[in-house]
Amino acid sequence: CSELHLRPFLRVSCVISGVYSVEDDGSCLGFVVPKDLADGFINNKRESYKFRFQKIFDQSAKQEELFDTVAKPVADSVLAGYNGTIFAYGQTASGKTFTITGGAERYSDRGIIPRTLSYLYQHFSQDSTMAYTIHISYLEIYNEMGFDLLDPKHEASRLEDLPRVTILEDPDQNIHLKNLSLQQAGNEKEALNLLFLGDTNRMIAETPMNQASTRSHCIFTIHLCGREPGSATLRRSKLHLVDLAGSERVGRTGAGGQHFTESKYINLSLHFLEQVIIALSEKSRSHIPYRNSMMTSVLRDSLGGNCMTTMIATVSAEKRNVDESISTCRFAQRVALIKNEAWLNEELDPALLIARLKKEVQLLKGELAMVTGEQRSEKLSPQEIQRLGEQLKVYLDDSDSEAMLDVGPDMRKICHCFSELKKLLHFYFFQTMVCKATPDIPTPEEVKKLKDMLVQRDNEISILVSMLKKEKKRVQDAVSTAGNMEAQSSLQSSTANLSDESLKGSEDLSPLPRLLQRKKGLELSVGRQEAFEIFKRDHKDQLTIEDNKALLKLRYTEAKALGEKVNSARNKVRVMGNLPESEVPDPMEEKLLAQIEEEKNMYKNTFGKLKGMKTEIEHLQLLLEKQKFKLQKDFEDWWTHEAGSMQVGKPLLFKSIFFLFTCAPHCSCYESPSDQQTDCPDAGFDLVNRKYGLTFRRMSSCAAQLRPGIYF
């Protein structure tokens, strides 16, 4: 990066004489302007002026000399990768276009543009260390509007037909010219053709002062790109060659109408140029008004930016132009105060860089294959992954703290192992967090134990359930037998012959249907029934109940035998009582009556016994039912108050929730609005952290979904 002042040169287009004088070895232009009495007697106007330049070229100076002194150093710095600008400033017809583009009459009148192009291409042909490409753009700014002079579809008929160029500014405040074409020029001839095309398209208008005066600013830009063969570094530089519109004041042109408007715009844009230059020359100014005009926006880099800029001030050394000449020289002095910072425009070519890196990767892969003796694909094969899993397991199981996991010099394998270890670590943290949050959560060993216990309990439950079914059937049979007996008893009591007062109270001996009715109302769900069976098995009253059941069974059997005996006695009495007297011989009649009496007594006694037994059976049944109800009640109490801590249920419950969190996050108990669903299973870790504030009720609900009806 180098800091340098803008360099102003002066070119005088006619013989220097009269009020003009060149002093100090040709670097200083002096003016002596005698006071005009017409301006009044009191006149403080200065009479002499002196302006210093890098060099003054008089009317005899050749185009070649000007190019060598002014343009060549700039062209060299552009070739080295720095931006450059040469702009010509001066009043109309002072020789700006002649300096920048050249005269059309003689080949030697060629201006800076064709000579620079020629110089650049000549350099390209001589320099084999670099490969260069040139692109050219040619912009005309007329009345603050930009036009592309290199549009090949248009000839210079009307300026409005040319493509309009507009300014765009990116977030980094870089200026982009929309619609300005960039034409590649492979050689000097192509470049000169483009210059010719642009010049043809230029707007030419006539003013009283100059028959062919340009009324617009023109910027011919050479975009240069240089690269050393094989290198990814590009040097991109720009050279602006600027031919500004005439700087004379509107009043002097004598123009009216359209030309007045043009002059107004020209003066305005030059005024803005001057403002920019004044702002740049004042160190304290932080804001530079580049945006005021299109020209200052385009030349932003050339003025106070990354550019080596040279100004050529052109004056017409005639007495009548002395004011304009002084004005031009003053402007040049201000420009001389501006400091630019130019730096090398080097950048990396991304495409080339990628290609080079790819080649390097390929080479390194080849080298690696040679060293390891194996070709590597991008991904690990399933066999390799399996082998790594085994190696990792051996490594983790090894209690030796200095154990090594050697997977060889293969980044894919190393990355895979790290990834697996990370997963394990996450799982470990997940478990630790969950266990911290819920100390009752079983460890994997405990889970295994509980699972075994669960299987055992399941077996027990199924045995008990089948036992219960059998028992139920037996009770039903007994109840139906007792029902029959009761029916028989009713039948008996209705028999007129054998009516007995003691038998009349038998209607009250039936509280059983009521108990059975109550029992029906206590039906449990299947799962709860199973839990009840387990509870019942361990209950302290169970033995007494079993004893009572056995006794009841015995009494049923005895009652059945007695019933048969009673029936047989009753039948005998009926048969004997019905015999006609003639069929019974006298001596036998007495014996028969005694027998009938005996059978009657027998019947009466047996029936009395049966009645007593029936009462005992009913009492036994009542007792049994009471004991069962007590047991049922105990179960209900236990279920309501203690089931939460039951040994089998609780671990199962937590195990269920653990399962839910890790493997079943879509369980419907998560579907409350506050619970966000998460993908299974990786989200389980976080989910448990956030969600473990579940109530027992909700936990129950979760577990219930897993094992419906068994414990809940």
Ligand X SMILES: Nc1ncnc2c1ncn2[C@@H]1O[C@H](COP(=O)(O)OP(=O)(O)OP(=O)(O)O)[C@@H](O)[C@H]1O
Of the candidate spans 94-102, 493-501, 625-633, 701-709, the one that interacts with ligand X by CB under 6 A turns out to be 94-102
Find out whether 431 is annotated in a ligand binding site.
no
Tally Cβ neighbours within 10 Å of residue 697: 8
Q: What's the closest the beta carbon of residue 269 comes to ligand X, in angstroms? A: 13
Rounded CA separation 83/74 (Å): 8
Indicate which single residue of 7, 96, 240, 457 sits in contact with ligand X (rule: CB under 6 A).
Answer: 96
Find out whether 96 is annotated in a ligand binding site.
yes
Of the candidate spans 89-97, 140-148, 155-163, 481-489, the one that interacts with ligand X by CB under 6 A turns out to be 89-97
Give whichever of 102 and 442 is closer to ligand X, judged by the CB atom. Answer: 102
Residue 695: partners with Cβ closer than 8 Å, 6 or more residues away: none
Residue 657: partners with Cβ closer than 8 Å, 6 or more residues away: 694, 699, 702, 703
Find out whether 257 is annotated in a ligand binding site.
no
Indicate which single residue of 13, 85, 181, 656 sits in contact with ligand X (rule: CB under 6 A).
Answer: 13
Binding residues for ligand X, total number by CB under 6 A: 17
CB 75 within 8 A of CB 119: yes
Taking alpha carbons only, the member of 203, 95, 106, 90 closest to residue 157 is 203
Rounded CA separation 303/296 (Å): 8
Tally Cβ neighbours within 10 Å of residue 34: 9
Summarize the chain as % helix, strand, coil (round to 5): 55, 15, 30
Q: State yes or no: residue 92 binds ligand X (CB under 6 A).
A: yes
Rounded CA separation 689/234 (Å): 56
Indicate which single residue of 26, 103, 527, 649 sits in contact with ligand X (rule: CB under 6 A).
Answer: 103
Tally Cβ neighbours within 10 Å of residue 219: 24
Q: What's the closest the beta carbon of residue 96 comes to ligand X, in angstroms? A: 4
Of the candidate spans 29-37, 210-218, 468-476, 703-711, the one that interacts with ligand X by CB under 6 A turns out to be 210-218
H or E, element range at 183: strand 183-184
Of the candidate spans 47-55, 96-104, 182-190, 220-228, the one that interacts with ligand X by CB under 6 A turns out to be 96-104
Of the candidate spans 206-214, 281-289, 549-557, 566-574, the one that interacts with ligand X by CB under 6 A turns out to be 206-214
Indicate which single residue of 85, 181, 214, 606 sits in contact with ligand X (rule: CB under 6 A).
Answer: 214
Indicate which single residue of 21, 210, 231, 391 sits in contact with ligand X (rule: CB under 6 A).
Answer: 210
Rounded CA separation 532/535 (Å): 5
Q: State yes or no: residue 70 binds ligand X (CB under 6 A).
A: no
Indicate which single residue of 31, 67, 87, 98 sits in contact with ligand X (rule: CB under 6 A).
Answer: 98
Give whichever of 222 and 245 is closer to ligand X, judged by the CB atom. Answer: 245
Q: State yes or no: residue 325 binds ligand X (CB under 6 A).
A: no
Give whichever of 105 and 501 is closer to ligand X, judged by the CB atom. Answer: 105
Tally Cβ neighbours within 10 Å of residue 410: 16
Q: What's the closest the beta carbon of residue 213 comes to ligand X, in angstroms? A: 3
Beta-ladder partners of 30: 21, 50
Of the candidate spans 209-217, 515-523, 562-570, 578-586, the one that interacts with ligand X by CB under 6 A turns out to be 209-217
Q: State yes or no: residue 617 binds ligand X (CB under 6 A).
A: no
CB 467 within 8 A of CB 571: no
Q: What are phi and psi of 413, to 5 degrees?
A: -70, -40
Interaction residues for ligand X, span 46-65 (CB under 6 A) = 59
Find out whether 94 is annotated in a ligand binding site.
yes
Rounded CA separation 45/43 (Å): 6
Burial (CB count within 10 angstroms: exposed 0-12, middle 13-18, buried 19+), residue 371 = exposed
Q: State yes or no: residue 90 binds ligand X (CB under 6 A).
A: yes
Give whichever of 260 and 428 is closer to ligand X, judged by the CB atom. Answer: 260
Find out whether 365 is annotated in a ligand binding site.
no
Q: What are phi and psi of 223, to 5 degrees?
A: -100, 115
Residues that bind ligand X (CB under 6 A): 13, 59, 90, 92-98, 103, 210, 213-214, 245-246, 314
Annotated binding site for ATP: 90-97
Annotated binding site: 90-97
